[in-house]
Amino acid sequence: MKELFTTEILLMIIPLFILQLSLALYCIVKILKEGVNNLSVPLWIGIVLVLNMVGPIAYLLIGRNKNDYYS
């Protein structure tokens, strides 16, 4: 019973971990390629890595270069 409970929890956590990791990697690549609108590049990378799901979402909403939207 205890093994089954652990397996079920892992099956629920693994997709969230993959989503978090892929979102962070996507944002870090965009930061390094396109730059940022405010703050500095190392600070945004730190925010993306430390603030798990909130950091990448904050970067996508606030930190992206506005000039790259229409290019």
Residue-level pLDDT, tens digit, the chain, 71 residues: 566 678 888 888 999 999 999 999 999 999 999 889 888 999 999 999 999 889 999 999 988 877 655 54
pLDDT the model gives residue 67: 66
Nearest-10 crossing angle of helices 2-34, 41-50? 170
Q: Where are the alpha helices (DSSP H) in 1-71?
A: 2-34, 41-50, 54-58
* CA-wise closest residue to 25 among 52, 43, 64: 52
pLDDT the model gives residue 71: 47
DSSP 8-state code for residue 37: S
pLDDT the model gives residue 57: 92
pLDDT the model gives residue 23: 95
- Residue 9 is which amino acid? I
